């Protein structure tokens, strides 16, 4: 029983049997369309966003498993805003506005992949990405939101459900 692992980056819900999946898995005799259909099924919530996917294949039985990797904070923000990219001049122009609740949701989704030891620290990391992308929060710049976060204005959002 030999297991091989393959990592691909696919657009959510739009994987095909062509490159990079087909050429990597084809020589191993696995049903490529079954793998592609499974990838599309589990990545459909991330429609239009590039998603890292890990496919583990047992070369003897041809059984496989598919696991979605963690999206970048940037990708989660662009998905939440429905935009394709951040501002090229984030200090002068903005590309969108998130609610603080959306920032907390992104921080919670990214929590295990961040270096933060608390939800508040994770939110600060997400806010840092918002700052570099030209994204405002509740109509305020990130530099206006951070002191409010420190003073406890947003504590109600940081309580565990």
Q: How many domains does the chain have?
A: 2
Per-residue pLDDT tens over the stretch 133-148: 999 999 999 999 999 9
| Residue where a domain terminates, one of 41, 68, 95 | 68
Is residue 56 domain-shared with residue 90, that is, in the same domain? no
Structure confidence by residue, pLDDT tens digits, 64-101:
999 998 888 998 999 899 898 999 999 899 999 999 99
Report how far residue 93's alpha carbon sits from residue 89's, in angstroms, rounded to the nearest whole number.
6
Q: What is the mean pLDDT of residues 53-60?
A: 93
Final residue before a domain boundary, out of 45, 68, 91:
68
- Distance, in Å, from the CA atom of 47 to the CA atom of 149, rounded to the nearest integer, reads 32
CATH of the domain at 120: 1.10.10.250
Assess whether 77 and 153 both reside in one domain: yes
Among 131, 139, 61, residue whose Cα is nearest residue 91: 131
3-state secondary structure of 120: helix
Q: Dihedral of the CA atoms 152, 123, 158, 77 (nearest 10)?
A: 120
pLDDT at 161: 57
């Amino acid at each position: 029983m030999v297991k091989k692992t393959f990592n691909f980056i696919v657009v959510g819900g739009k994987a095909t049997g062509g490159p990079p999946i087909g050429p990597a898995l084809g020589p191993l005799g696995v049903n490529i369309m079954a793998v592609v259909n499974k990838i599309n099924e589990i990545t459909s919530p991330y429609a239009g966003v590039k998603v890292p996917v890990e496919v583990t294949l047992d070369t003897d039985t041809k059984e496989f498993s598919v696991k979605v990797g963690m999206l970048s904070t940037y990708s989660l923000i662009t998905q939440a805003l429905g935009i394709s990219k951040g501002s090229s001049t984030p200090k002068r122009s903005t590309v969108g506005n998130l609610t603080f609740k959306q920032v907390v949701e992104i921080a919670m989704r990214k929590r295990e992949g961040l270096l933060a030891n608390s939800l508040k620290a994770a939110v600060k990391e997400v806010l840092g990405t918002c700052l570099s992308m030209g994204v405002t929060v509740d109509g305020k710049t990130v530099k206006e939101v951070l002191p409010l976060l420190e003073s406890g204005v947003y504590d109600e959002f940081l309580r565990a459900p």
